[in-house]
Chain A
């Protein structure tokens, strides 16, 4: 797989879009894999007592999943040199059912001398932003 050619990119180019879905099993799997066992991610009663509408996805599950749009575009998961996000709105995960997250990646900054590109991700559920200032700096 060849990397995108930095010389052919322009700020504003859309690198891709995808939809990712989470069900309750995905949350349990991430809890186990990450060691984040906070019950707001698997126990409705606990989530409601914490003032939430119900179980929500780990912000880090959303952040960790949506970056796949960028690493698949580059073709190398080790190319990410900086990655940041704000958690602006919780992602509710129904039971039964799935939460559906829309991801769009746009070229935000190109640094040809450094050989890096910043991809900005728009991450929404039903049109509402769930991650803010989601920026992925990759070395091409």
Chain B
């Protein structure tokens, strides 16, 4: 049973994820995305992007890393071998491109347990750091330019489910 005390928790902006060209190419190939803007720099720039553009679900790579702050916390009481992914949503404020330095603020929005099943909804607010910044500014109101929101719900089956 997921620990309900974590509901409402907000984590500080995490260490940045550096979006690399080869990672975009690798991820695009893994999801069968053949558009040249994922693979070819000249094509990406010709389409108006500053660099290779990430596929629409690439943000999950960034989000998963942020979510692990919560999921892998023993106090959260989430047995990952009993987790099933229930739903996922991406809202893009702008496309992710190679060269982005992305920091994520993780929100634990909802924890509901019914019988042996717990449903946990997290939201990752992903920001691009300003050019030249190596880490989020703890004094700043927002850690950077909003890039994407990723909402994910996990279903965790209890021992008896």
Among A34, A36, A71, A133, point to the contact of B56 (Cβ < 8 A): A71
Chain A residues within 8 Å of chain B by Cβ, number: 34
Cα of A64 to Cα of B56 in the assembled complex, Å = 7
**B64 interface hit (Cβ, 8 Å):** yes
Q: Number of contacts between A and B (CB, 8 Å)?
A: 102
- Which A residues form the contact surface with B (CB < 8 A)? 20, 26, 29-30, 32-36, 38, 50, 59-61, 63-65, 67-68, 71-72, 76-78, 80-87, 133, 136
Among A33, A36, A60, point to the contact of B26 (Cβ < 8 A): A33
Which residue of chain B lies nearest to A70 when distances are taken between CB atoms in the complex?
Answer: B56
Which residue of chain B lies nearest to A56 when distances are taken between CB atoms in the complex?
Answer: B84
Q: What 18 additional pairs, Cβ within 8 angstroms, besides A34-B30, A77-B55, A82-B90?
A: A32-B30, A36-B64, A38-B80, A50-B81, A50-B82, A61-B31, A63-B57, A65-B32, A68-B31, A77-B37, A77-B56, A78-B95, A80-B90, A83-B57, A84-B90, A85-B87, A86-B86, A87-B88
User: Whole-angstrom distance from the CB of A1 to the nearest CB of chain B?
Assistant: 9
What residues on B are CB-neighbors of A32 within 8 Å? 26, 30
Cα of A65 to Cα of B33 in the assembled complex, Å = 7
Interface residues in B7-66 by Cβ distance below 8 A to A read 23, 26-27, 29-35, 37-38, 47, 49, 53, 55-57, 60-61, 64-65
User: Whole-angstrom distance from the CB of B159 to the nearest CB of chain A?
Assistant: 12
Contact A78 B87 (CB under 8 A): no
Contact A71 B35 (CB under 8 A): yes
- Which B residues form the contact surface with A (CB < 8 A)? 23, 26-27, 29-35, 37-38, 47, 49, 53, 55-57, 60-61, 64-65, 80-82, 84-92, 95
Cα of A34 to Cα of B56 in the assembled complex, Å = 13
Among A30, A61, A67, A86, point to the contact of B87 (Cβ < 8 A): A86
The answer to whether residues A78 and B37 also contact, given A33-B30, A83-B90, A84-B87 and a CB cut-off of 8 A, is: yes
What residues on A are CB-neighbors of B95 within 8 Å? 77-78
Cα of A72 to Cα of B56 in the assembled complex, Å = 12
